[in-house]
Structure formats: structure tokens, C-alpha cells
A and B are shown apart, each in its own frame.
Chain A
Amino acid sequence: MSPALLAVQILNGLDLGFILFLVASGLTLVFGVMDFINLAHGVQYMLGAYFAAALIAWSGSFWLGLVLGAAASLAMGLVLEWTVFRHLARAGHLEQVLATFALILIFTDGVSMIFGAGALSINLPPSLAQSVSFANGFSYPLWRLLVIAAGLAVALALWLLIARTRLGMLVRAGSTHPHMVQALGVDIDRLFLLVFAFGAMLAGFAGTMAGALTGVEPTMGDSVLILAFVVIVVGGVGSVRGALIAALLIGLVDTLGRAFATDIMSLFLSRSSAASAGPALASMLIYVLMALVLAVRPSGLFASGD
């Protein structure tokens, strides 16, 4: 493997990692603050991408569509909270699993009814659809670099919001001691509404960023949801810092594993058995990583309350 190939794969891994971070950061707070299991977060990722694709086509402007798409994701989060999630906040995990599973069925089918089951594409403006060349002869798509930059910016903003503001203090307190926060007179339902809608917007934004790379489909949220779960479990429920580190770790391990597993396996095995065992092993790698982390730390790397 050449250094340039390795560099491209590391950047791809960071790319996936930051997308996962955008999805997982909102979700981990919803889990942490309300002990709420939300399977429909992947749907919010998918809806965000559809909102952006439709609004970019409607407005004719990429940037306007991007901003309107994020606003639509936020609005959708508010609507879902009012109509469904609010009524389940104090129900058991089972009811939450059932209701959010129902939401997945509704929106996945609903979207393919409206937009068709095939993939839509988000067309980048020419200024963004180019590649950046680096010194030693390899180039990398600009949009993928922007995904990394946007992920870093969101991580910084979230850190400032959570570590430096009064709202962030309440979210932190709510994720470790929700009953005490409520007893001190904080409206924890409104806190939940804010966290939930904000998380929906981040997920929608992540869907848009990823949708511009891979296309927008009704089932695009499914695999991301499960990867986000792995990220949250590894990072520790309720911890945004844990989500960031775990997301980058998972993104890198998954991408590098898929890229190089067959090569590494062929050091030990024959060419043909490496070619069949490599992909199987690569696809299991992040789950093995999760199992290892959990064997050592059952509540994740950065468990809230530590």
C-alpha cells in the first residue's frame, strides 16, 4: 500500500467518522437526558437529506437549500416531539422501541411513495464539485474535506454550548441526574424538546452531507443508525466527547479494515481464502471493537457519571 492510498483511506475514515459524530451526538443526548431509545433517528438523517434535495431543487440555490433543509429538519424534529415522543417519554423502553420502529416503517414507505424508491442526487455547485490536489501527486474531493471541516466546527460549537453555557450545564446535569434537575425546578420536558429537535437537525444535516456524496435513498438511515448505536455504546451514553472520539475511531477502523483486510489476511492465508475471509472479517471489525471496549468498560469509554 502506497502512502497516498493510505492517506486517502484515512481521510475517508475521518469523513465517515464525522458523519457518524453528527448523527450520534444528538442521539446520545436524547438517550442520556431522557433515557429514551430512539430508533427513528436514522429516519431523521434520511428526511434531512430529502428535505435538502427537494429544497435545493425548488430554490435553485445550493446554499439556500442547505439552510432551508436544516430548518425543515429542525421543524420536523419539533413536530415529531409534539405528536409522538412527548407521549412516550415516561413509557417503558419497549413502547419506545415499538413506536419509533413504527415511525421507521411510516417514513421509509412514505418517502418512497412521494419521491420514488430510487436514489435522488444532490448536485453540488461546480465550485464545490472539484478535487484538491496535494503535493505528492494525490488529490481528494473538496466536498469530503468540507464534511470533515463541518464536523470539526460542529464539534467545537457543541463543546462551547455544553461546557460554557447555562443551557449546556442543564443538559450535562440532566444526562447524569435528571430527577435532581427536575426537583430543582427545571422544566425537563422543554429541555428534552430542545435537545431532541437540535439532534434531529444535526442528523438531517449529516444526511445532507452524506447524501451529496452517495445519493439520497429511503433506506439510507438504517445502516447509519446502527453504526451510531455502536458509536454511542463505545463512547458512553450521554457523552458528546465520547461520541466524538468513538465516531472517529469507528469511522477509521471500519474504512481502513475494509480497505486493507484482504491484503493483511493474505499474509497468513492463501490468496483465494483471504479474498473471501477478508470482507467478512472487515465487516465484523467494529463489532469486535465494541465487544472489546465493553468487556473492559461495560458503560463505554466516557460513561456519564464517571
Chain B
Amino acid sequence: MLLHRLTDFARREPTTALLAPVFIIALFAGQVLGVSAPATLLARAAIFAIAALSLSFILGQGGMVSLGHAAPMGLGAYVTLSLSMLGFKDLLGVMACAFIVGALFSALTGLIALRTRGVYFIMITLAFAQMAYYAMSSLSVFGGTDGIALPLRSTLFGWPLLRSDSATALLALGLLAALFWGLSRVTRSRFGMALRASHLNEARFTALGFEPLPYRLMAYSFAGGISALAGVLLANLTDYIAPSFLDWHRSGELIVMVVLGGVARPFGAILGAFALIYLESLLGGLTQYWNLALGLILLAIVLARGRFERTARIAP
């Protein structure tokens, strides 16, 4: 009975079935081997889960495969840096500014990118993210390609909340939970349904008298703003901001997180983010060439999943 349920579950949710054991093993092995300070790692995973969650929203609900989602995240970190250099470090104010900058960047680039579909959209979002990367690399105020240390961590009403990594981890987890709840509300709202409809059947959506672009642009900008919030927390965690925050490898990692966990499922993005961050830390502790190992694992998962899903579809 239990076995039947398990195989049934694996057939319906092959990703979760494949990923859950990997997730649990990596989580425990990381703790046991002590390859990284647990609080820092937890904070990092939760922060990336926030960014991955926002990407999963536009990807799962709106079908927008953005390969530049690290750009608003990195811009959020640079907003934290520039405000801190000016002496302003109140967390709520910094987050508000970062949200606005991330959303504005996404809105401006989205205006161009969202007129296109498919491979065009993927390439254009990647190109705009790279533009932001090069722009930040060439600003000598922010240390150019080398990056620069964050002068002061953000505070909440003057209280040094983010002083320790465990507090940052708790804050990131809290924000993650709030966003998870909020985004699931948005998904079920009229706006969420319209967004989904614009992606699932654009012709019918338009025929019903809706205009797809405002919905898509709104969602895309909103996701950019949330990603920038993750950037604020990441800057406070690492204390060092470099253009590599906006690197397209980072955008690729965010896509990996979202796809690993299953695209249409917001919880999948969270699971994927934790799995990838812990897996990276675990492999990084074992070998210098951890990217190679990670790549092989990812490739195996994609190819195996394609095969598994094909057989699952054929079977009744």
C-alpha cells in the first residue's frame, strides 16, 4: 500500500521524488562533515531561495524564461553598497530603494524583452543582465571588476539586527515564508489567473479582450524587485560586493534551482535552491573541480528525467 503510494507519487511528481533524497542527504552530510558554517550556509540558501521563488513565479505562472535574474539581485546588492557608502543603512529604507531599483531595471528591460518570445526572450534577458554586469564592472567607485567591501551592514531602526549570520538566516527564512505565502495568494488572485492565461493560451486571452503585456510586465518587474531584496540580504551576509553577483552563471544557477524543483511549483524553487547551495558546498569541500561534478549531476538529472517522464507518460 505504502509502496504503491510511493510509486504513484514518483509518477506524478518525478522531480520531487528524485530530488528529496538528494536534498536530505546533502543537508545532513554538509552538517556532519562541517564543510561550511551552518548558519552562513542556511542564510545563503534562504537568500537564494527568495530569488529563485521570484523567478519561479514569472517562469511558472507567466512562462517567462529569464536568464538574467541575477541582474536585479546584484543591483540590490549594489544599492545596499552605495547607500552604505553614503552612510544610510536602515534596512527598511535600503530594501525599499533596492526593490524600486530592481523593479525599474526589470520594467525597462522587460519593455523590450517582453515583446518577444521563446529563444529571443532568453537571449535578450541574458544580454541585458550582461549589460548591467559590464556597467558595474566599469564603475571605479565600486571597485571595478574586483568589487569592494561593504562599509556598514544594514540596521533595523538603529539596532544591528544583521550582525550575526544566524540572525540574517532567520530574517531570510522569515522573508522567504512571507513571500511564499504572498506569492501563493497572488497566484490565486485575478491577476495570477490572468497572468497564467496569458501564458497558457495567448490567442484566447487576447480574444477575451485582455492585453497580455501589462500583466507580464507587472509580474516581471515585481519579480525583479523581490530578487533585489534577496540581493540586499546577500550583500549583508557576504560583506563584499563584486560584479560577479550579476554574472550570468549566477542567473544560470537560479534557473537550475527553479527547474530542479519543478517549474510550476513554488515550493520546488525553494527545495531547488537549498539543494543546489548545499550540494555546491558539499562538492566544494570534496574537490577543487566541484563545478565539473555539479555539471555531471545536473546533466544526469535532466537526461534521466526526460527518459522517466517519457515512460511515465506512456504508462497509463
The interface of chain A, by Cβ under 8 A from chain B, is 31, 35-37, 39, 84, 87-88, 91, 93-95, 97-99, 101-110, 112-113, 222, 226, 229-230, 232-233, 237, 276, 279-280, 282-284, 287-288, 290-291, 294-295, 298-299
Q: Which of A102, A237, A294 contacts B296 (CB 8 A)?
A: A102
In contact, A97 and B255 (Cβ under 8 angstroms): yes
User: Given the complex, which residues of A lie within 8 Å of B298, measured CB to CB?
Assistant: 98-99, 101-102, 105
In contact, A233 and B302 (Cβ under 8 angstroms): no
Q: Which of B67, B124, B135 contacts A283 (CB 8 A)?
A: B135
Contact string against A for B residues 124-166, beta-carbon threshold 8 Å, 1 for contact and 0 otherwise: 1011101100110111110000000000000000000000000
**Separation in Å of the A45 CB from the closest CB of chain B?**
16
Q: How many A-B residue pairs have CB under 8 A?
A: 134
Given contacts A98-B298, A226-B130, contact A113 B255 (CB under 8 A): no
Q: Which of B122, B128, B290, B302 contacts A99 (CB 8 A)?
A: B302
User: Given the complex, which residues of B lie within 8 Å of A106, measured CB to CB?
Assistant: 291-292, 295-296, 299
Segment at the A interface, from B1-9, B113-121, B199-207: B113-121
User: Given the complex, which residues of B lie within 8 Å of A112, measured CB to CB?
Assistant: 289
Q: Which of B65, B109, B295 has the most CB of A within 10 A?
A: B295
Task: Across the A-B interface, give the 4 residue pairs with the lowest CB-CB distance, nearest first.
Answer: A105-B295, A106-B295, A109-B292, A287-B131
Given contacts A98-B298, A295-B112, contact A233 B120 (CB under 8 A): yes
Closest to B144 in A: A279
In contact, B131 and A299 (Cβ under 8 angstroms): no
The interface of chain B, by Cβ under 8 A from chain A, is 59, 65, 67, 109, 112, 115-116, 118-120, 122-124, 126-128, 130-131, 134-135, 137-141, 248, 252, 255-256, 259, 263, 289-292, 294-296, 298-299, 302-303, 305-307
**Separation in Å of the A74 CB from the closest CB of chain B?**
22
User: Given the complex, which residues of A lie within 8 Å of B65, measured CB to CB?
Assistant: 93-94, 97
Q: Which of A232, A282, A295 contacts B123 (CB 8 A)?
A: A232
User: Given the complex, which residues of B lie within 8 Å of A35, measured CB to CB?
Assistant: 118-119
**A279 vs B294: C-alpha distance when bound (angstroms):** 35
Given contacts A91-B306, A98-B298, contact A37 B119 (CB under 8 A): yes
